Amino acid sequence: MVLESARALLLAARRIAVLTGAGVSAESGVPTFRGAGGLWKGFRAEDLATPGAFARDPRAVWEWYAWRRTLIDACRPNAAHEALARLALDRAGAVTIITQNVDGLHGAAAHAAATERAAESMSAMPLELHGSIFELRCTRCDWVAEHRSSIDASSDATLPRCARCGARARPGVVWFGESLDERRLAAAREACATADVALVVGTSGVVHPAAGLALVAALAGGAVIEVNPDETPLSHAAAVVIRASAAATLPALLA
């Protein structure tokens, strides 16, 4: 049965790359982008998560992010995030968690699992390819700050500003048309190129270059395991496909 064959691959693997998308956070209450409705407050990410939209109407973009931040701040890691964090701590150095998500839930699970073990959380911290929705960045200087409190986007005057130079601040995420942090992407590619198993969880596999990472693993001889209720463009590259949800699958898969 598929769970057993996936478990056997993971147990035999020396190096595991985990690739997650919005689906891993669905059971925490974070909406996916392309799932049912696939909209955030009626907007498509491709329309608002862009430099052009921010240049044209920073208040509207910040209003959308303020709404998403409030929603995500009320969400907690689910059993899938927790199982992945425990795996990464138990097999420190062998597991690299790579995520497209900006919700910070893998990091929260890593801290919780590390506290549980009075261990260091580092080996369970994810590579956040698309940044974090709780980070602010200056549009002019290199100021960056973690910011979790609510954002007042009711007028241009109350929008976030850089604490150092006063210029407009933006969400610390990668927008469509923007390139990813080269170091993070190179680390993710390296983890996939050397992985015996790539565990792909909850991604529709349509946003590049993140979507290409599973194929990097497959082309390098890694076995791809896909955990997703639906078929995706990555399914054909999978050695094992588990058509189920992340929270229902990962605890048993990774125990």
Minimum Å gap between C-beta 225 and Zn ion is 43
246 part of the interface to ligand BV8, by CB under 6 A: yes
251 binds ligand BV8 (CB under 6 A): no
Q: Which CA distances in Å does 190 have to 90, 122, 207? A: 21, 18, 19
Let me know if 157 is exposed, middle or buried by CB neighbors in 10 A (0-12, 13-18, 19+): exposed
The answer to whether residue 130 is catalytic is: yes
**Least CB distance from residue 172 to Zn ion, whole Å?**
13
With CB under 6 A as the contact rule, the residue among 60, 229, 235, 251 that binds ligand BV8 is: 229
The entry of ligand BV8, Zn ion, none near residue 143 (CB within 5 to 8 angstroms by kind) is Zn ion
**Which residue is catalytic, options 111, 130, 147, 236?**
130
**Per-residue contact track with ligand BV8, 169 to 188, x per CB under 6 A?**
----xxxxxxx---------
Q: At closest approach, how far in Å is the CB of 242 from ligand BV8?
A: 9
- Binding residues for ligand BV8, per CB under 6 A? 21-23, 26-27, 32-35, 45-46, 49, 100, 102, 130, 173-179, 202-204, 206-208, 210, 227-230, 232, 245-246
